[in-house]
Amino acid sequence: MKVIVTGGAGYIGATTVQSLLDSGHDVVVYDNLSKGHAEALPADVRLIQADVADRERLDAALGEAKPDAVLHFAASIEAGESMKVPEKYFRNNSATTLNLLEALLAHGINKFIFSSTAALYGEPEHVPIRETDTLKPTNAYGESKLLVEQMLAWFHRVHGFRYASLRYFNAAGSNGKSGEAHDPESHLIPLVLQAAAGKRDQVAIYGTDYPTDDGTCVRDYIHVSDLAAAHVLALEALSTRDKLIFNLGNGLGFSVRQVIDTARKVTGKNIKAVESARRPGDPAVLVASSDKIRKELGWTPQNAQLENIIASAWEWMQRHPNGYSYHNAAGH
């Protein structure tokens, strides 16, 4: 298929672009590069540097490329920030996606893959979390994504719009070609590895009194390549299916202490961890049931071990000590 990938120069987007190419699809990336990196993309992929909010540029891109489908990754992703400036999230994630959906309708494009989030569930009713569980976000980021899922349900009902909504848990690791390089960084595994690399003095453990085995939060970490593979499967399934909603996670939970201890083992470095107070809104345990996508699409994570996930992230970080080349004097 010919596809446009919005936000395709971001961490998960660029990894998925590589998986799409490896599966024989024709890819155009549409990204404003506010958070993404052109260097993350394979050299032969066409990049349109523009904003999804710009309807004129969007119409031109869709009219020229005539894609069979669009994969939509472009979004603001920091849950903490969303509780300080919720308006940014409703603009960038909800309103901008509506702009994209209207453009797709106008151009007769009827296959759409949406990057959704585990944040839709808020405080989970039970663990592991299933797709049928109540959606009750505890932050504006989750709410901004839930609004899009509600739009998609209505577009499907009224227009017969085909879509897949993929609810991510914690993406981590590297496919060897692109990696995680946020600025500022807020995700646990790269923060821990930055401490291992001497880029920061220590890593914080927020809360040690949770009702978990070691008192720290437990999260479901999924290798970014496994996440990307699920997008390819969902895209291909939309040829015969018209509405797909899946959790994407390992189904395994790892605590903050486990992540730090595993990183020490992988890197051979003494990573200093400092215990801090809980952060508001952090559930004790977030682990996905991904049984549905495993059964329906035959998806199987290939890199489920925490050690392998962290090792791949560490290898990429060592080759790119300052992230991507535009702010990396070594030019890596």
- Cα separation values, 317 from 61, 190, 256, 308, Å: 34, 8, 20, 14
Active site (catalytic) residues: 141
- Cβ pair 163, 152 in contact under 8 A: yes
What order of strands is seen across the sheet that includes strand 69-72?
46-48, 26-30, 2-6, 69-72, 111-117, 162-168, 243-248
- Cβ pair 32, 100 in contact under 8 A: no
CA 169, CA 219: separation in Å to the nearest integer?
Answer: 8
H or E element at residue 60: helix 55-65
- Cα separation values, 323 from 211, 216, 232, 329, Å: 36, 29, 26, 10
Report the candidate in 9, 153, 130 with the shortest Cα–Cα distance to residue 71: 9
